[in-house]
Amino acid sequence: MKHHIIGAEQFVEEEGQGAPVILLHGFPLDHRMWASQVQALAANYRVITPDLRGMGQSDVPVTNISINQYADDILTLMDKMDIQKAALGGFSMGGYVAFALLRKAPSRFTSLILANTRPEADGAEARKNRMNMAVSLYDKGAAAAKDAMLPKLLTEQTRKDQPGLVESLSLVMESMAAEGLVHASLAMAFREDATDLLSTISVPTLVIAGEHDAIAPPDVMKKMADQISGSSFQVIPAASHLTPMENPEAFNALLIEFLKNATA
């Protein structure tokens, strides 16, 4: 496992050799959410899992940051790591960054995985919730995001059956810098709508939903997949939002099969 610090601000983990696969984490998480996918792919791919700025081990920005700037960071990282083209996967907030990347530099991505994400921008109510989250983060620290998100990330059954997963996930979320999460909340609140981008996507695309995901519900994701020509839409049963960690076996099987065909 290699660790890199790009431009003294961005932390990234790299494992394995082969065609590059970049996986972008969600909120309020970091590259560790992909541990099981890294393990499954590293025998055949160069798997790159960055921490978005302000999250995980990446520095907290001193001025506000947008989803477009997170995307610029990924392009900088690709240049610094000598990666001309890569397969790109985005989970939830990571999907919002993936949309921005496809707008900015479509020729640099050979295939796309969209997990538990949605193309629409936030409406007024969702923005207000993000503002409230930002205030809670200042009041209570990263625990505010953990408390709000944990019940939405995993099904009630999984939380009951897998206390170890709940524990490690809680540790990841509690380790975040509160202000980094404030930046992320505001960046998501004011992100661009990506609906018009969908019909322009021409690379092989895999769309993965969780059966019980209330943040990116399967019907919303199916509608999104229908607008991406030739995409494959898959639902992971008995899973909520955090499908890569909640059911890594099912998630990895889809991922491996897709990448095998997409990078052939």
Total chain residues near ligand MLT (CB under 6 A): 6
Q: In this chain, which of 188, 245, 255, 259 binds ligand MLT, going by CB under 6 A?
A: 188
Restricted to residues 203-232, the positions that interact with ligand MLT (CB under 6 A) are 215
Please report whether residue 70 would count as binding ligand MLT according to CB under 6 A. no
Residue 144 sits in the site that holds ligand MLT (CB under 6 A): no
By C-beta, is 38 or 184 nearer to ligand MLT?
184
- Does the protein bind ligand MLT through residue 55 (CB under 6 A)? no
Residues contacting residue 172 through CB under 8 Å, at least 6 positions apart: 29, 30, 32, 33
* Complex with ligand MLT: residue 22 or 262, whichever CB lies closer: 22
Residues of this chain, 6-35, that bind ligand MLT according to CB under 6 A: 26-27
Among 10, 37, 58, 92, binds ligand MLT (CB under 6 A): 92
- Closest to ligand MLT by CB, 221 or 262: 221
Give least dist CB 69 to ligand MLT, A.
Answer: 17
By beta-carbon proximity to ligand MLT, the closer residue of 81 and 102 is 102
* DSSP per residue, the chain: -EEEEETTTEEEEEE--SEEEEEE--TT--GGGGHHHHHHHTTTEEEEEEPPTTSTTSPPPSS---HHHHHHHHHHHHHHTT-S-EEEEEETHHHHHHHHHHHH-GGGEEEEEEES---SPP-HHHHHHHHHHHHHHHHHTTHHHHHHHHHHHS-HHHHHH-HHHHHHHHHHHHTS-HHHHHHHHHHHHTPPP-GGGGGG--S-EEEEEETT-SSS-HHHHHHHHHTSTT-EEEEETT--S-HHHHSHHHHHHHHHHHHHHHT-
Quick note: the x/- pattern for ligand MLT over 235-264, rule CB under 6 A, is ------------------------------
Residue nearest to ligand MLT (CB): 26
Q: Does 99 bind ligand MLT (CB under 6 A)?
A: no
Q: Which residues bind ligand MLT (CB under 6 A)?
A: 26-27, 92-93, 188, 215
